[in-house]
Amino acid sequence: MLRTLAWRAAVALPTLLVVSSLMFMALRLLPVDPAAMSLPPNATNADIAAMRHTMGLDKPLPVQYVIWLDQVLHGNFGQSIHFRRSVAGLVSNALPATIELAGSAMVIAFILGVGGGLLLFALQGRRSELALETATTLAMSLPEFLWGLLFIFVFGVALNWLPFTGRLAPNLPQPSGTGFLLIDSLRAGRLDIFWSALLHLILPASALGIAFAPPIARVLRASLLATWEQDYIRQARLRGVSETRLLLAHALRNAALPSLTMVGVQFGFLFGGSLLIEVIFADPGIGNLMVDAVRNADLPVIQAVGLTYCVVVLVINAVVDALYMVLDPRLRRA
């Protein structure tokens, strides 16, 4: 298993290299001049030229890329032009919020997806299957930001059940530590903060997760149907194993693999989808940072955030590969 993960990492490096260089080139083609932007409006052309020189913008593009890459490899992502702070600091402050959101959304999508898949399978041929089919189609066809707005209106404004702005109630202090509120609050022993953070997560995470559950459910149902025809299911049934046990102890794990692929593919989209949700729910994560950076043509931040997305997708892929081997012993090499 370790060998496969090592292989994964070896493949990830060139991927990152290609992504970063593409991004670097693309952003340099934009008609914005970071040097001019970082100077006051009354700066002269000479000032700008001098600034371009100090920022290294007068060097050829490949040289600029190598300089940038060298800095990135030393952990230095540069200074944000807009926020006037270190980019690394900005990203590492925002990242935990997004991971917490996307992670919870994935958990919700996973629970709904696996539950829905099992239910679709169990109800096959009955009239209620059609109702559930309709529900999944509906869940899938609305985009996540519409779910977000709908949830805010219904559960936040009309029913006033759940909070829908920020990550915490305004009167609570943000605990120090990893930046993951759910973890930090527990470490500080502040259950009130934990509870508040959890409540704040429910609406955005549900809005984000709900659209991703139906594909998982459908893939799971399809592979359950195929697995159900296998000899080992029939043979277990002939040993007197109950239908429930056949489903949960024999078929589910075998049928899980295609759904797992689905989850892996979707997590990338889900991470990207968090952008709009963060904006709607005023959640200070990577998505909001990206929106601010794009609005202000803050190139160093855009680059760093883009690279972060890429790393997240690669890590998720590696995790999925590892889970594959946990679930299916045939993939483990002796």
CA–CA separation, 5 vs 322, rounded Å? 7
- In the complex, least distance from residue 171 CB atom to other proteins, rounded to whole angstroms: 50
Among 88, 140, 222, 236, binds other proteins (CB under 8 A): 236
Q: Which stretch binds other proteins (CB under 8 A): 126-134, 147-155, 246-254, 282-290?
A: 246-254
Q: Which stretch binds other proteins (CB under 8 A): 21-29, 90-98, 203-211, 225-233?
A: 225-233
Among 86, 93, 165, 254, binds other proteins (CB under 8 A): 254
- Does position 235 interact with other proteins (CB under 8 A)? The reply is yes
- Does position 231 interact with other proteins (CB under 8 A)? The reply is yes
Instruction: Report the residue number, 15 or 254, with the smaller CB distance to other proteins.
Output: 254
- In the complex, least distance from residue 248 CB atom to other proteins, rounded to whole angstroms: 12
- Does position 234 interact with other proteins (CB under 8 A)? The reply is yes
Instruction: Report the residue number, 59 or 237, with the smaller CB distance to other proteins.
Output: 237
Among 230, 279, 284, 322, binds other proteins (CB under 8 A): 230
- Does position 250 interact with other proteins (CB under 8 A)? The reply is yes
- Does position 126 interact with other proteins (CB under 8 A)? The reply is no
- Number of residues near other proteins (by CB under 8 A): 25
